Amino acid sequence: MNKKTLQPVVLSADEVAFVRGLVIYEDPEILVLNKPAGLSSQGGRGQVHTLDELLWAFAKPGKARPRLIHRLDRDTSGVILTAKTKPAASFLGKAMMGRKFSKTYRAIVTPAAPEPKAGSIDVPLRRDEQGREAYMRVCPPDHPDAETAYSRYRTLAEVNGAALMELDPDTGRMHQLRVHLAHLGRPIAGDARYGGALVVAGHAVPRLMLHARALTFPHPSGGKKRLEAPTPSDMAGLLAILGLA
């Protein structure tokens, strides 16, 4: 880790209050937050601080900030896990690599629920760079850049023109759920990158309607932990308007 990475980020009082308001669970080893849509986990290009940088709000004097264990897309909301100590970060990193994490998402899709209404998607993906933008594409298993990708889904509610889905990715490829649902012809509402509707039943979609609802993982001190993030107000509002709540 280079010295630049170790340099504390100076945060405003508003930024400190903002990130502290995202906490949904904390103990001596882990810190779990409900990331809002529009906040980059890491590597943002603008002048606004990323979540990774905002974590300096929790750093003890002379010590490093909590470490992100995984990421969420900038426009995806929900549960995100950090480790407060190096041993916890090592333990959780190995657990994630060993696929001992279970993630559950909620999404609004159009124009209807998939058929069948519950099932799995086992379709490899490959990364496609276009300028400064990165996309994921479905591809044949024998493609030289193919990465295995497996997702499970079930329909929670449906109305004419939209459905509320629960999604469980077994692999963690970039944009996996977004591309898999688009592959089924049921893109996530608000997902302009992969063909999602920007208006549903006459109502504008405020952003990508994808929320990381729950995360289950082995705790560094033993046992399993399950943490949930409530549905954000913009998504809850659209669900109510559509009759999917």
Looking at residue 46, its pLDDT comes to 65
In the predicted model, is pLDDT for residue 174 greater than 60? yes
| Mean pLDDT across 176-180 | 98
CATH assignment of the domain containing 13: 3.30.2350.10
Task: Determine, yes or no, domain membership for 37.
Answer: yes
Q: Specify the pTM.
A: 0.94
First and final C-alpha spacing in the chain: 45
- pLDDT tens-digit map of 141-161: 999 999 999 999 999 999 999
pLDDT of residue 6: 62
Q: Is residue 237 part of a domain?
A: no
With respect to residue 95, please indicate whether it lies within any of the assigned structural domains.
yes
pLDDT given for residue 47 in this prediction: 66
For residue range 78-129, list pLDDT tens digits in order: 999 999 999 999 999 999 999 999 999 999 999 999 999 999 999 999 999 9
Residue at 186 is within a domain: no
Q: Is the pLDDT of residue 224 over 70?
A: yes
Q: What percent of the chain has pLDDT over 70?
A: 96
Task: Work out the percent of the chain whose per-residue pLDDT is above 90.
Answer: 89
CA–CA separation, 105 and 54 (whole Å): 24
Strands 77-83 and 210-218, by their bridges, are parallel
Total structural domains within the chain: 1
Three-class SS of residue 222?
Answer: coil
- Structural domain contains residue 133: no
Encode pLDDT of 195-207 as tens digits: 999 999 999 999 9
**pLDDT score at 3:** 41
By annotation, the residues acting in catalysis are 73
Please state, rounded to an integer, the average pLDDT across all residues of the chain. 94
Supply the range of the domain harboring residue 23: 3-100
Under 8 Å CB-to-CB from 6, ≥6 apart: which residues? 64
Distance (Å, whole) CA 67 – CA 30:
9
